[in-house]
């Protein structure tokens, strides 16, 4: 049986979840008798916590408003969740960067060394101009790859079915999507891999030394890499156009869920979607570049309609 202090902390952690617990539930979770549970509740009340009784069949307890601020008691999965949330918070909210860093520092300071190692994920969050959310990614995958990045261990993985052996260097969150900046040992080149497209094999245990990163560092490398494993987002309207712009330029400013493919050094093919064909045409127009090979026909028709509306706007706007 847990010691009284450890058991009381666990009880406080359970009550701090914000739900109402029945007496039998708490007794079962803590492995104590109803009498011991009542005694532990009294200990918390003496410490200043507002533990309210709940009437009904079996009775119960909940942590009421007011009183002392409970200490945070987290298991390993909760620690990883908090660390990832704090590290990526600046991609969703502005003005909290300093607070998030101070919270991270405080969390790491009180964390046991073993848990601190597991939770200290090397993540670089980056805000894109157009955030089109992606599907949530598995926390276990982030934790596994992040551990390999932190420990500088070679990874064996499949990227959409293609086997790779890479040196994982950085995790970057860009346009609400997770990317791994890695050096491909077989192809002898730097790669940007979508984390949700890979399957990781058991650890190799092989270490690697630091390499000079691509010019500009990992963030700029992700921003300007067109071939980073993206797929078109599932929009109602999907089209593609060749733009008279380099792929690296379009890759930086394309919305999340778009796919950029280099055609030449000065042009690229951009595939993306939108809520309507006119909306999609508008997105393409924001690049301000010459366009060819416009597909499908619905998108060409939307450009024609937009041309007519813009022509009328010019005439009306110029009339006195």
First to last CA, the chain: 88
3-class state of residue 175 by DSSP: coil
Q: Cα–Cα distance between 41 and 131 in angstroms, integer?
A: 46
Residue 20 — pLDDT band, cuts 50, 70, 90?
Answer: confident
Q: Which two tokens stand for residue 55?
A: 């009437």
Q: Cα–Cα distance between 34 and 38 in angstroms, integer?
A: 6
Least confident of 11-25, 30-44, 161-175: 11-25
3-class state of residue 93 by DSSP: coil
Please determine, for residue 126, whether its predicted confidence score (pLDDT) is greater than 70: no
Q: Cα–Cα distance between 276 and 282 in angstroms, integer?
A: 10
Q: Which two tokens stand for residue 46?
A: 């003496």
- What's the rounded mean pLDDT across residues 16-32? 83
* pLDDT on residue 193: 95
Please determine, for residue 74, whether its predicted confidence score (pLDDT) is greater than 70: no
Residue 1 — pLDDT band, cuts 50, 70, 90?
Answer: very low
Please tell me which residue, 53 or 261, carries the higher pLDDT value.
Answer: 261
| Closest by Cα among 165, 173, 113, 121 to 143 | 121
Q: Which two tokens stand for residue 157?
A: 């993985």
- What's the rounded mean pLDDT across residues 174-192? 91
Give me the domains of the chain, ranges plus CATH numbers. Answer: 4-67 (1.10.10.10), 76-224 (no CATH), 237-318 (3.30.70)
- What's the rounded mean pLDDT across residues 29-45? 88
* pLDDT on residue 29: 87
* pLDDT on residue 45: 84
Q: Cα–Cα distance between 299 and 295 in angstroms, integer?
A: 6
| Closest by Cα among 54, 94, 88, 48 to 71 | 48
Q: What is the pLDDT of residues 129-142, one digit of tens each?
A: 455 666 777 878 88
| Closest by Cα among 35, 46, 55 to 12 | 46
Asked whether the beta carbons of 191 and 165 are under 8 A apart, the reply is no
């Amino acid at each position: 049986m847990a010691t009284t202090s450890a058991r009381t902390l666990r009880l406080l952690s359970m009550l701090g979840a914000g739900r109402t617990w029945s007496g039998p539930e708490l007794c079962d979770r803590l492995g104590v008798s109803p009498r011991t549970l009542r005694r532990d509740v009294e200990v918390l009340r003496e410490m200043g916590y507002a533990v309210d009784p709940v009437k009904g069949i079996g009775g119960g307890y909940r942590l009421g408003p007011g009183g002392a601020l409970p200490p945070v008691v987290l298991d390993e999965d909760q620690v990883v969740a908090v660390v990832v949330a704090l590290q990526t918070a600046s991609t969703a909210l502005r003005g909290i960067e300093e607070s998030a860093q101070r919270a991270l520092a405080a969390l790491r300071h009180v964390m046991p060394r073993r848990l601190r190692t597991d939770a200290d994920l090397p993540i670089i969050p980056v805000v894109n101009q157009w955030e089109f959310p992606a599907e949530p990614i598995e926390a276990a995958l982030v934790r596994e790859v992040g551990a390999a990045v932190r420990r500088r261990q070679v990874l064996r993985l499949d990227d959409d079915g293609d086997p790779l052996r890479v040196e994982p260097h950085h995790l970057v969150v860009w346009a609400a999507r997770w990317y791994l900046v890695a050096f491909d040992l077989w192809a002898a080149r730097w790669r940007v891999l979508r984390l949700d497209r890979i399957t990781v094999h058991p650890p190799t245990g092989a270490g690697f030394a630091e390499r000079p990163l691509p010019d500009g560092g990992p963030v700029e490398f992700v921003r300007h890499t067109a071939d980073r494993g993206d797929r078109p987002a599932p929009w109602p309207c999907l089209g593609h156009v060749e733009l008279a712009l380099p792929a690296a330029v379009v890759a930086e400013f394309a919305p999340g869920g778009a796919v950029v493919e280099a055609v030449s050094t000065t042009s690229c093919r951009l595939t993306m979607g939108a809520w309507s064909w006119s909306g999609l045409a508008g997105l393409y127009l924001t690049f301000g570049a010459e366009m060819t090979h416009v597909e499908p026909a619905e998108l060409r028709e939307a450009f024609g309609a937009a041309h007519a509306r813009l022509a009328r706007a010019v005439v009306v706007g110029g009339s006195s």
